[in-house]
Amino acid sequence: MKITCLQMDMRFKKPEENFARAAALIEAAAAEKSDVMVLPETWNTGFFPKEDLAALSDRDGERVKREIGALAKKHGVNIVAGSVSNVRGGRVYNTAMVFDQEGTCIAEYDKTHLFTPMGEDAFYTPGDSLCTFTLAGVKCGLIICYDIRFPELVRSLTVPGLDMLFVVSQWPKVRTAHLRTLTTARAIENQMFVVCCNSCGRAEDTVYGGSSAIIDPWGETAALAGEQEEIISADIDLSILTKIRSTIPVFRDRRPELYHI
């Protein structure tokens, strides 16, 4: 399976420019003939405009479904369409959407852990459900940025069985080492592939660090981006999942009766 991350430098508070840029990156990446493309977090608005947030947001994902869904169908590619600022039922959510090769939205996820140090919780409503889906026969899960710091969330996704975790983020450059460490740890401890698509560039006073990565279950990095806008791809060998899980049977050896959180 070939995976492509679209490490986008979005324009703060400029959804028109950002939709055009996301489409341009998808078109450019189409030559890669990937099975899955991935966008970063809140790519329509940047992270995140406190003034006029609702006005700048999508409406129940309608534009994402219309435009990104059409591109998925046009190129016959699955798209994990990052997340967008999204108004639904009078509230703003940080919503991720996934499209199959026919352009159908097969999964949606509202970010469950809002980043309180930047006040995200004062402007967005948290989600209350987890997200799993299947792409090309591969069992996948999806989380957004700050969610990666909560291993109990990821383990809740992986205990029933998961082969790949997508992490879409707007992670600041100052903590890039944390992003690399946490994504690698989640891959190793859960014996799965982790695909992290981060943003880059600047939004107000925050510089975002890029460093999008495709990581295998051994913790090895198959592809790694720099700090600028970039498209990275990797062909991943799903057959190694069986080998690592039989060699180190972590899930068989769990002792859930001892775990009290």
Which residues have a catalytic role annotated?
Answer: 41, 111, 145
φ/ψ bin of 146: left (φ > 0), alpha (ψ from -120 to 50), beta (otherwise): alpha
Query: SS3 of 30, please?
Result: helix
Distance CA 180, CA 9 (A): 19
Distance CA 86, CA 93 (A): 5
From residue 20, alpha-carbon distances to 11, 24, 95, 213 in Å are 11, 6, 19, 24
Contact 110, 93 (CB under 8 A): yes
**Closest alpha carbon to 169 in 139, 205, 129, 212:** 212
Residue 247 DSSP label: H
Q: Which residues contact 119 (CB under 8 A, 6 or more apart)?
A: 50
Other C-beta atoms closer than 10 Å to the C-beta of 168 total: 30
Distance CA 142, CA 130 (A): 8
